Structure 1
Amino acid sequence: MDTNTVERTESQSHHEPSPTKGTTFTRTCFNGINTLSGVGILSVPYALSKGGWLSLLLLLLVALLCFYTGLLLRRCMDSDPLIKSYPDIGQVAFGRTGRAMVSMFLYLELFFVAVEFLIMEGDNLHKLFPNQDFAIFGNEVGGKQGFVLLTALVVLPTTWLRSLGVLAYVSAGGVMASLILVLAVFWGGAFDGIGFHESGELWNWSGISTAISLFTFCYCGHAVFPTLCNSMKDKSQFPKVLLVCFILSTLSYGSMAIFGYMMFGEDVTSQVTLNLPMKNISSKIAILTTLINPISKYALVTAPIATAVEEAFPFRESKIMSYLIRTSLVMSTVFVALVVPFFGHVMAFIGAFLSIAVSILFPCLCYCKMVIGFKKVGVELMMIFMILLFGTFVAIVGTYTALTDIIKEVQPK
């Protein structure tokens, strides 16, 4: 529905939506695909190189689990008409503690995803213009850092948009950008002399935790799912939206993973575009299309954070206050991107510590508490219990591995 803020709509009293208001099925699909097919598409070849060819099965497993837990969130919302957001689900399930835990993990995940957008842009723009330096207030700034700041200035106006109906048009550009990116990488391998000659490993135990963490990051849209559902004109169609989004996103991720790994093998970087030779037109197209990602996705990802902060401040109806809050949010993501500019390791940390909790663990726990009950033993409860064990193990091992890698990077060499 066309609202002033996303979360404000979720917290308002329940009414039947007007048949003339709300986001259509097609627009919601664009928003959903845009949320899922994000910056992770650059790192799936790297994830595949960590786990080996058979880890493609893990990509499918993660996609199925996240699709299922997305449905669980929808069922949790159906169980109580007052539920309008993910934190609401946590509160109904486990009280104020549940709301606080869900909110903390949810907003941290969205925040770090926004940080990854900026790091990605800084890296790729620096590759496109390697000799470009910046001077800010008389001080020399490196190319990567300067491009991070420039990207922030570009995405800032998009964060001031407060309607998902409007953002759907921006999302359509993001979906097209992801498609063009995959095609450009394929073109580079098939027609621009790179080739698909690398055989790669079949299985690599030491890299499995990193691979699963990166794959989970690719499907970290659960924080936005309740927002998308509540914005729809016909909410009963949301499961179909999820199905369309997960199928198309998985096809995109799988294709990119296979192309990139066959092209560069074990030498593939955490962003496949950084491996592409700049002499090829296809390489330049691939990198240029990544410029659209922050513009099309940054606002959608940060909208729940911004509106949650706005609700906590007085003068919540003030446009000036809204602009100040959203501008401050952009500035904070810029700061983190400049301090911890390690794209692959940060993504693995997000996937293991935050995305697994938000996308797998919390939906299962809340659903068991709210809908089926922990004491009602059955096939569904046993399946959810196995998912919880799997997610907890991957979260612990993946978080340890990611933090270890980040510490190695920041230590003096």
Structure 2
Amino acid sequence: MEIEFPGYDWKKYNNDNVDERSAEERAIDDWLPITASRKARWWFSTLHIITAVVGAGVLSLPYAMSELGWGAGAAALVISWMITLYTLLIMVHMHEMVPGERFDRYHELGQRAFGDKLGLWIVLPQQLVCLVGVNIVYMITGGQSLKKFHDLVCKDCKHIKLTYFIMIVSSAHFVLSQLSSFNSISGVSLAAAVMSISYSTVAWGASLGKGVQPNVHYGLRSKTTAGAVFDFFSALGTVAFANSCHNVVMEIQASLPSTPDRPSEKPMWKGAIVAYVIVALCYFPVALIGYWTYGVTVDENILITLQRPKWLVAMANMFVAVHLIGGYQLYAMPIYDMTEIVLVKKLKFKQTWYLRFVTRNTYVALTMFIAITFPFFGSLVGFFGGFAYAPNSFILPCIMWLAIYQPRRFSLSWLVNWVCILVGVLLMVVAPIGGLRQIIFQARTYQFYN
């Protein structure tokens, strides 16, 4: 069935027509990070998605299980994985729903669905919160993992503050931030994806090797009813955070070539499905085996709970640090693109290397400062997972699908999308409450820049 878009000029965007952009517009698009190169292969998208999804969130899943319990925890993992895969695939389909046009950025898809002004205001703030939030969390977790590595391999060394390890991780970001586009960070994503699979395997493999610990308890972590409820809310946000890459999926697909005979949707679908199978092979063993081994005594980062063998735990923490360096760049690339669009297209700055050098290093410095000031890793995951990731991963893709395709009421497509929306609304409301409560409790005893 052909979908009609009232008032849309089909001839203007037909693939057979000559590119109507001016030479200046083409030059700008060829310079911007998202549209600079469209020569990626399908497995590039697999690497980018694995890097985006299997990150800080996987390490907190056993802790989330300890807040949810066996039944609710397993159900939350399965439902979140299924819904986020579905919403990712419908976004992939909508990337080229109009023949001859590509929606290369998340907010462009929102503008197609809701109109130019409203779509921008609906999508862009949510996407920015997600991207900046995950960059801050990756800064913190990378610093924590590097500190854990140092403490394990050098027991007798002088104590070094977490602040300095975050700064060490940030030094790599100042260098890598100058890579121009998604294709230019493919090697970084390859290294990051290998590292993420490796430390996930270490996490569940080492837990399995230890077996059930003495006096293990599988009840809820909190001893009070109020605490259990708030922990439940926060854990839902953690699970939502762990299964999301929707804020960069349109931008990743923009790096793939597309022709009328072979649109980018085909290789992107292949890359996304392969990536999500690998994600499941990482997430479910870590969450379930980690909780099975430690019960409610598991830490918010399972690699902190693991103590022996020291060499294996130290290696896994280094894997985490390397992966999060790559993951940071993946999530930062749309930020760089937005900044450069404003500067070059709106404010008419020239496309120069020093413009890119100043703006990107400023962003890295800003996220480093926030990470050093507020290193509440577990609570940040729960807060951002509910407040920002739930709308972008569960709600907005389905609303845009309903707005654009307008499936028949009570049809299967209509029902599935509305179920996803309702689940997302629930997460958006309850998850930030639990995360914010934990942030407040931890802030009472935290000493800044300690």
Normalising by structure 1, we get a TM-score of 0.88
Alignment of 1:337-376 (within 5 A): 337-372=371-406, 376=409
- Structure 1 residue 329 and structure 2 residue 346: aligned? no
Shift of 1:231: 0.8
Pick from 83, 88, 91 the counterpart of residue 108 of structure 2: 88
Looking at structure 1, the residues matched to 444 and 382 of structure 2 have their Cα atoms a distance apart, in angstroms, of 19
Task: State the partner residue of 1:118.
Answer: 139
Alignment of 1:272-283 (within 5 A): 272-277=302-307, 280-283=310-313
Report if the CA contact (8 A) 1:39-1:293 is conserved: no
Deviations 1:84-125 (CA, angstroms, capped at 9, x unpaired): 211011111112122122111112101111111111122222
Task: State the partner residue of 2:267.
Answer: 237
Task: State the partner residue of 1:14.
Answer: none
Residues 230, 269 of structure 1: CA spacing in aligned structure 2 closer, same or farther, 3 A cutoff?
Answer: same
Q: Secondary structure of the equivalent of 2:34?
A: helix
- Structure 1 residue 259 and structure 2 residue 277: aligned? no
Looking at structure 2, the residues matched to 143 and 278 of structure 1 have their Cα atoms a distance apart, in angstroms, of 23
Report if the CA contact (8 A) 2:34-2:337 is conserved: yes
Task: State the partner residue of 2:212.
Answer: 196
Looking at structure 1, the residues matched to 30 and 218 of structure 2 have their Cα atoms a distance apart, in angstroms, of 50
Amino acid at match of 2:50: I
Report if the CA contact (8 A) 1:6-1:227 is conserved: no
Alignment gaps of 5+ in structure 1:
10-16, 135-141
Shift of 1:132: 6.4
- Structure 1 residue 287 and structure 2 residue 317: aligned? yes
Instruction: State which structure, 1 or 2, has the greater radius of gyration over its C-alpha atoms.
Output: 2
Amino acid at match of 2:180: R
- Structure 1 residue 40 and structure 2 residue 67: aligned? no
Residues 324, 5 of structure 1: CA spacing in aligned structure 2 closer, same or farther, 3 A cutoff?
Answer: same
Residues 165, 412 of structure 1: CA spacing in aligned structure 2 closer, same or farther, 3 A cutoff?
Answer: closer
Task: State the partner residue of 1:144.
Answer: 162
Same amino acid, percent of matched pairs: 21
- Structure 1 residue 28 and structure 2 residue 45: aligned? yes
Looking at structure 2, the residues matched to 251 and 200 of structure 1 have their Cα atoms a distance apart, in angstroms, of 25
Shift of 1:47: 1.2
Looking at structure 1, the residues matched to 108 and 158 of structure 2 have their Cα atoms a distance apart, in angstroms, of 46
Deviations 1:229-252 (CA, angstroms, capped at 9, x unpaired): 111135122122211111111210
Looking at structure 1, the residues matched to 181 and 85 of structure 2 have their Cα atoms a distance apart, in angstroms, of 25
Looking at structure 1, the residues matched to 158 and 382 of structure 2 have their Cα atoms a distance apart, in angstroms, of 30
Report if the CA contact (8 A) 1:66-1:359 is conserved: yes
Shift of 1:77: 2.5
Task: State the partner residue of 1:53.
Answer: 70
Amino acid at match of 1:5: L
Residues 70, 288 of structure 1: CA spacing in aligned structure 2 closer, same or farther, 3 A cutoff?
Answer: same
Alignment gaps of 5+ in structure 2:
1-28, 222-227, 259-263
Residues 343, 132 of structure 1: CA spacing in aligned structure 2 closer, same or farther, 3 A cutoff?
Answer: farther
Normalising by structure 2, we get a TM-score of 0.81
Task: State the partner residue of 1:139.
Answer: none
Looking at structure 2, the residues matched to 240 and 115 of structure 1 have their Cα atoms a distance apart, in angstroms, of 30
Looking at structure 1, the residues matched to 171 and 256 of structure 2 have their Cα atoms a distance apart, in angstroms, of 31
Task: State the partner residue of 1:104.
Answer: 125
Looking at structure 1, the residues matched to 207 and 79 of structure 2 have their Cα atoms a distance apart, in angstroms, of 28
- Structure 1 residue 168 and structure 2 residue 161: aligned? no
Residues 370, 316 of structure 1: CA spacing in aligned structure 2 closer, same or farther, 3 A cutoff?
Answer: farther
Pick from 211, 220, 243 the counterpart of residue 244 of structure 2: 220
Q: Secondary structure of the equivalent of 1:184?
A: helix
Report if the CA contact (8 A) 2:87-2:393 is conserved: yes
Looking at structure 2, the residues matched to 388 and 316 of structure 1 have their Cα atoms a distance apart, in angstroms, of 42
Pick from 379, 389, 394 the counterpart of residue 427 of structure 2: 394
Deviations 1:21-52 (CA, angstroms, capped at 9, x unpaired): 61001222111211111121211111111112
Two-structure CA RMSD over aligned residues (Å):
2.4
Deviations 1:251-284 (CA, angstroms, capped at 9, x unpaired): 1011111232223221111111111226621111
Q: Secondary structure of the equivalent of 1:255?
A: helix
Deviations 1:184-223 (CA, angstroms, capped at 9, x unpaired): 23443355xx433375537787343322211111122001
Amino acid at match of 1:150: I
Shift of 1:8: 4.3
Residues 202, 76 of structure 1: CA spacing in aligned structure 2 closer, same or farther, 3 A cutoff?
Answer: farther
Pick from 78, 87, 91 the counterpart of residue 96 of structure 2: 78
